[in-house]
Structures are given as C-alpha cells and as structure tokens.
Structure 1
Amino acid sequence: MLKMLCDNKNKVLDRKKALNTIWGGNNMFNRKSMDVFIFKLRKYLEKGPNIKITNIHGKGFMLQDNKSD
C-alpha cells in the first residue's frame, strides 16, 4: 500500500485499484482491512510534519508531500 501511495505521490490512488491489486478483491472484509492499514500508516507517518495521507471522498487516497523544495 505504501509503495502504491509513493508511486502516486500527490495524486489520487484509486481505492478500488488498490483493493484489487493488494487484497485481491473489493469486498467488505478487504475494505475494512485496507482502512485499518491506512489508519496504521497515518499513525506512523504523523511523526513527519510534511507527509500525510488524505481521503479523497468517493475516489481513494492521496499521499501528500508538503515539503517545500
């Protein structure tokens, strides 16, 4: 999941695509597993002030890198 988010940094990662690629299907149990995984990733990433995972309602997730270059 983290690799897919990184590969799509600052772009929307389609929820259904991630579910099918990583969990092999889009059923209720897989969706809940992904939600728990995203929750844990957020907790881990909250230590870094420039990176966060945002929900994009009805579409998926976005790994945002707010680091100024």
Structure 2
Amino acid sequence: MAADAAQLRELAVKISVAYLRANPVTADKVGNMVRDTYEALSACAAPRTEPVPLAVPPARQGKRTARA
C-alpha cells in the first residue's frame, strides 16, 4: 500500500509540474494543487465497491386496453 501511495504522489507531482509549465500559477496555490491532484488520483485508485442497484419504478396498475 505504501508503494501505491508513493506512486500516486509521484504521479500527482508530475501532473502538477506539467500543468504549471503550461499555466502560470501563484506560488501559494501550488501546494493545494498538488494535494488536490493527489486526492483525485487516490479516489480513482480506490477499490471498487459493489454497485448500488437502481430503483425499479412500480408497475402501472390497471387493465391495458387497445385503442382504436
């Protein structure tokens, strides 16, 4: 697990550096950007849980009649 975290941190830094090269950002925002990038990556790498089944609407009641 520690290796995964280290890899995510490294990837977050690489993504942030690439973004900073193309888009000038003030120095006070760099740390937050790296942290936000890391959090987004770790959310994507989180293990999947079972999907929640979709609610099925109740069937319509009453007789169906053919219209002419």
Q: Fold conserved (TM > 0.5)?
A: no
Higher strand share: 1
Rg bigger for which structure? 2
Higher relative contact order (CA 8 A, sep 6+): 1
TM range, smaller chain: 0.3 to 0.5
The structure richer in helix per residue is 2
Q: TM-score, normalised by structure 1?
A: 0.36
